[in-house]
Amino acid sequence: MSDIKQLARETVQALTPYLSARRIGGKGDVWLNANEAPDCSEYQLDSKKLNRYPEFQPPALINAYADYSLLKKNQILATRGADESIEILIRTFCEPGSDSILICPPTYGMYAISAETCGVTVEQVALDSHFDVDYLAVEQAVNHPTSQVKIVFLCAPNNPTGNMLDKQKLVKLLQATKGKALIVADEAYIEFSPQLSQVDLIAQHGNLVITRTLSKAFALAAIRCGFTLAQESVIQMLSKVIAPYPVPQPTAQIATQALSENGLAVMKDRVHTLNNNRQLLQTALKSLDCVTEIFPTTGNFVLVRFKDSAKVFAAFANDGIIMRDFASKPRLENCIRITIGSKAEMESTLTTLNSL
Ligand SMILES: Cc1ncc(COP(=O)(O)O)c(C=O)c1O
């Protein structure tokens, strides 16, 4: 082992890092592997005062998100993407070496990676046979006498299976785990089905946390801007741990414009277009012989099971279409996740599939 590797923490030496879409890479012009938006807007940027550190939580940004989310300013923390929210939650609430988080696989990979890098154990309660959360099993795991679970991560729409949460069952879980654990609902894709948000539950439930991002429906993955939403007491704890200047000033400027009346109208328009494109794709997929299962979804992606996903993936790669392969994940054999892109990108996707 090299000297430097030996110097690293043992958990880091053993860690397999999260392979983001950009790290995996791929050659082609059609990028459908990271659930990004296919279009982008232009923004004004004032670069005159970049010698000064930014505000800890830029007031214009927090005001704009408070108006958008219908929450109070003290119930919001802006972060460098939702990924930072996940990490800060773990670093704030889980004691390394003794506490754990609970995840419901198959789900977004960063919950487990963030926990591992913090020396926090990961417990699992698998999604049920319909890929829905097994609420009773989660409750039992958290309330088990020896449980050290401090945070439960639920993802809705779940990446990659698309499932949503059941509000009544979530409320029961929140009540049953009060004082024991935080329940985090990751709403990275909620703009594609805003009526299914759990944000209205924050007023009543001190142990509910919601994470959000501007990377998806707002088409701003490059600026790294996310939000943690919860009652003030949670936000205050997180504010002790987060970096001193978490939101770069150019990010705050752009994000504030994206949350303006005009910015929100553009986002809603995009959502409308992408939801239509998703419908077109889903309908066309139904008639294809190579498809065996189309997972239900309300996000800007759809998980599809093929007869032979390796063949399909190779055909996409050959045509310069980059997709996300889930075939090696447990229970997702032969599955590929397709990001909903522009109409032209959906047509290219279907042309490849039709050629098989
Ligand atoms: C479910 C989920 N949560 C969080 C994130 C991270 O979002 P951000 O770009 O804001 O870090 C992603 C990104 O793909 C995601 O799919």
CATH number at residue 182: 3.40.640.10
Q: What is the pLDDT of residues 175-192, one digit of tens each?
A: 999 999 999 999 999 999
Which atom of ligand 1 approaches the CA of 84 most closely? 11
Q: What pLDDT, on the 0 to 100 scale, is given for residue 18?
A: 80
Which atom of ligand 1 approaches the CA of 107 most closely? 1
What gap in Å lies between CA 105 and CA 126, rounded to an integer? Answer: 5
Q: In this structure, are 86 and 213 located in the same domain?
A: yes
Last residue of a domain, one of 262, 279, 302: 262
| CATH code of 21's domain | 3.90.1150.10
Q: Is residue 47 part of a domain?
A: no
Q: What is the pLDDT of residues 228-260, one digit of tens each?
A: 999 999 999 999 999 999 999 999 999 999 999
Q: What pLDDT, on the 0 to 100 scale, is given for residue 1?
A: 66
Overall number of domains in the chain: 2
Task: Indicate the top mutation candidate among 20, 104, 159 to test ligand 1's pocket, ranked by most ligand atoms within 8 A of CB.
Answer: 159
Q: In this structure, are 64 and 138 located in the same domain?
A: yes
Please name the residue whose Cα sits nearest to atom 12 of ligand 1. 188
Domain interval for residue 12 = 3-39+263-354
Q: What pLDDT, on the 0 to 100 scale, is given for residue 26?
A: 80
Q: Cis bond leading into 160, ω under 30°? A: yes
Q: In this structure, are 204 and 306 located in the same domain?
A: no
Q: What pLDDT, on the 0 to 100 scale, is given for residue 197?
A: 98
Cα(82) to centroid(ligand 1), Å:
6
Q: Is residue 54 part of a domain?
A: no
Q: What pLDDT, on the 0 to 100 scale, is given for residue 245?
A: 95
Q: What pLDDT, on the 0 to 100 scale, is given for residue 254?
A: 98
Cβ–ligand 1 contact at 299 (below 6 Å)? no
Q: In this structure, are 226 and 83 located in the same domain?
A: yes
Q: In this structure, are 15 and 134 located in the same domain?
A: no
Going from the C-alpha of 280 to that of each of 64, 163, 216, 342, the distances in angstroms are: 34, 20, 20, 11
Cβ–ligand 1 contact at 161 (below 6 Å)? no
pTM of the full structure: 0.96
What gap in Å lies between CA 230 and CA 234, rounded to an integer? Answer: 6
Q: In this structure, are 66 and 144 located in the same domain?
A: yes
Please identify every stretch of the chain with a pLDDT value under 70, giving residue numbers as ranges.
1
